[in-house]
Structure 1
Amino acid sequence: MGKPTLNDLRAFMVVAARRSFVQAAGELGVSRSALSHAMRGLENDLNVRLLHRTTRSVSLTEAGHGLLARLHPVLSDLDRALDDVARDDEALRGTLRINGSEGAIRQLLQTVVPRFMAKYPQMELDLVSDGRFVDIVAEGFDAGVRLGEAVPKDMIGVRISEDFRFLAVASPRYLRKYGQPGTPEELQWHRCIRQRLPGGKRYRWEFARHGHAFTIDPPGALTMDSNTLMIEAALRGLGIAYVPETYARDAMARKRLVAVLDDWCPVVPGLFLYFSGSRHIPAGLRAFVDLARHAPGNESGRST
């Protein structure tokens, strides 16, 4: 019987978690054929079959389940030991992958990222701006950033921003020409800049007042998929945009945009950095979370 390598054992754990050579290969950064060959080699070294393979799926044999159960605590302890050593000499290394919307990544760039990169210069950050709500575990991310209400219940969330509002905004030029709506229902007589979500659906505008909440799909000839571009369109007088207030704040301060229906725009939960609490948390992620909890303006940084 041969002697399995640590890399092969880690690769086996990823295959077991993903139940797919394609997904596991993508997470590990190797080809599917190379991963399959490595798993064959591991089975030959141990002289036992670990995986049932079909053209569409991968599942564990009884021996595979047994090996996985023994590997989890052993490799987790090893990872913790290596992480502790890395943190002791302040020489964190590796890559931290974080997924979030464009606005969420911008928030990190304004708060946590500069401090993290200055403190841990040997760490690499891979920040993916994605409008889709992805399964961070299945797609190989260490963490994600979303609105508090969108954080999955089985995840640990750390607040990185205060609560804020989505605002309906328009340029003074537009309002001089078309007037200002007094209620959300009056938007049907206006030109609205609508937003297309990554899945193809249009984003419905949310309003609330005196305990009455509702959503509308406003009319409009212009649809976009970027809050930044929607602000640009509103600045050009092309219609009313509905965006997070952080995108409109600068233009409003300079009187280039005006909030409309201000009393109808509700507060929404702020942004949270979230990650799985059911698996080992790498030292790099722990360091990033610690900085996020104590970011300027977020000293309370509570978890969910």
Structure 2
Amino acid sequence: MRVFVTVEEQGGFAAASRKLDISPAAVTRAIVALEQQLGVKLIQRTTRNTRLTDAGHQYYEDSKAILASIAAANEAVAGANAEPHGTLTVTASVLFGRMYVMPSIVNYMQKYAKVKVVAHFVDHVTNLVEEGIDVAIRIGELPDSSLRAIKVGQVRRVLCASPAYLQQHGVPQQPADLLKHAIISASALSPKVEWRFGATASAEKLAMQPRLMVSSIDAAMAAAIGGLGITHLLSYQVKSEVERGTLALILEDHEQPPWPVHVVHREDKLGSSKVRAFIDDIVHDLRNHPNLK
């Protein structure tokens, strides 16, 4: 299994042999033996490249999960109280990661010199099992899964604009008033922009026609601070600007219920001292952060 997974991850037999420090012939023998044992073809091989079969794709995903479980079991048996060591992989959204996760990572790495950290700060949902991620910080309701989740706080969807814009164009009193204003959308991935208001199942929905669509939170905030219009962001993203007076919140009585913030991890990683120590740190830090209450 380990040889098979390495062949796929390294892109070929020769690269896998170098990674595993065994001969190319040994790699070939291992794959042939595995295919004979299973009775299926896992890899299509040509003189130039390798490609997984349909059965190979499924076996690759299952093998990765199994190997990860074995590594976790070995680490747990080696000593639950051992000093954290190895590589820890963490993911969060870009802005939240920079503002709230990185300080915890820095403190964690200063405490545990034997740990390396890989931090994926991306604005899309990652698959912890398939991508080998140990801990994720997620904002919003979670789907049912085999993952474990610890709630650490909450954030709100808020509407905001610069005081100068509101003074010039007026302060909206009802959600429908937004249709008369310049709108800044913080997602340029879809031409359809729908904002929701209210806490009930029959919450009001408005199809917005943004004057500006951008693909980053920072860009939307900059445009709003510059007086271009009204944008819809998360409370933690704009808290500092609101406190400084460069942005003002509007229509607070029409906000949706707060979104939970969770620390999510794979249950089979509980035996890992490096993961357990980081979870303890990040949970403590986020639960005590005033911007997430």
How far apart are 1:72 and its partner, in Å? Answer: 8.7
Deviations 1:178-209 (A, max 9, x none): 11111111111110101226x54655323115
1:119-152 CA-to-partner distances (Å, cap 9, x unmatched) read 1122111111111222222223223221240355
Match of 1:146 among 133, 138, 147: 138
Summarize the alignment of residues 74-223 of structure 1 with structure 2, pairs less than 5 Å apart.
Answer: 77-82=73-78, 84=79, 87-88=81-82, 90=83, 92-105=84-97, 106-110=99-103, 112-150=104-142, 152-160=144-152, 162-196=153-187, 200=190, 204-209=194-199, 212-223=202-213
CA distance in 2 between partners of 1:237 and 1:71 (Å): 53
Normalising by the residue count of structure 2, what TM-score does the alignment of the two structures yield? 0.76
Give runs of ≥4 in structure 1 deviating > 6 Å: 44-47, 70-74
Residues matched between the structures, number: 267
**SS across alignment from 2:136:** strand
CA offsets 1:273-301 (integer angstroms, 9 cap, x no match) = 212225675332222112223336449xx
Is 2:158–2:235's contact at 8 Å kept on the other side of the alignment? Answer: yes
* 1:28-55 CA-partner distances (Å, limit 9, x unpaired): xx33333485653325678954562245
The amino acid of 1:42's aligned partner reads: A
Q: Contact (CA 8 Å) 1:207, 1:266: kept in 2 or not?
A: yes
Q: Distance in 2 between matches of 1:180 and 1:103?
A: 28
Q: Determine the structure 1 residue equivalent to 2:249.
A: 259
**Counterpart residue type for residue 144 of structure 1:** A
Of stretches 126-135 and 140-149 in structure 1, the one that deviates more from structure 2 is 140-149
The 2-side partners of 1:79 and 1:108 are apart by 25
Q: Distance in 2 between matches of 1:71 and 1:171?
A: 52
Change (3 A) 1:134 1:144: same
**Where does residue 41 of structure 2 map in the other structure?**
52
Contact kept, 8 Å, 1:159 with 1:298, in 2: the verdict is no
Give me the whole-angstrom Cα distance separating, in 1, the residues matched to 2:231 and 2:149. Answer: 30
**What one-letter code is carried by the residue in structure 1 that aligns with 2:123?**
G
Equivalent residue in structure 2 for 1:238, among 228, 231, 240: 228
Distance 2:137 2:68 in 1: 27
Out of 196, 220, 224, which is 2:214 matched to? 224
Letter in 1 for 2:157: F
CA separation of 1:201/1:288 partners in 2, compared to 1, >3 Å: closer, same or farther?
farther
Q: Could you report, residue by residue, the CA deviation over 1:77-131 in whole angstroms, capped at 9, with x for unpaired residues?
A: 423233x27x43x2x3222112221133132124x32331121122111111111
Paired with 1:73 and 1:181, the residues of 2 have a C-alpha distance of 54
After the TM superposition, which of the residue ranges 150-159 and 255-264 deviates more from structure 2?
Answer: 150-159
The one-letter amino acid of 1:214's match is E
Q: 1:41 is paired with a residue of what secondary structure?
A: helix
Unpaired segments ≥5 residues, structure 2: 18-23, 45-50
Contact kept, 8 Å, 1:147 with 1:271, in 2: the verdict is yes
- More off after superposition, 32-41 vs 122-131: 32-41
Instruction: Output one character per residue of 1:210-235: Cα deviation in whole Å (capped at 9) or x when no partner.
Output: 77423333222211121122111111
Letter in 2 for 1:126: V
User: RMSD of aligned C-alpha atoms?
Assistant: 3.5
Q: Secondary structure at the match of 1:59?
A: helix
Q: TM-score, normalised by structure 1?
A: 0.74
- With over 3 angstroms needed to count, the CA separation of the structure-2 counterparts of 1:48 and 1:221, relative to structure 1, is same
Could you tell me how far apart the structure 1 residues matched to 2:178 and 2:35 are? 70
For 2:277 and 2:140, locate their aligned partners in 1 and report how far apart those are by CA, in whole Å: 21
Structure 1: give runs of 5+ residues left out of the alignment: 1-8, 16-20, 300-304
Change (3 A) 1:100 1:189: same
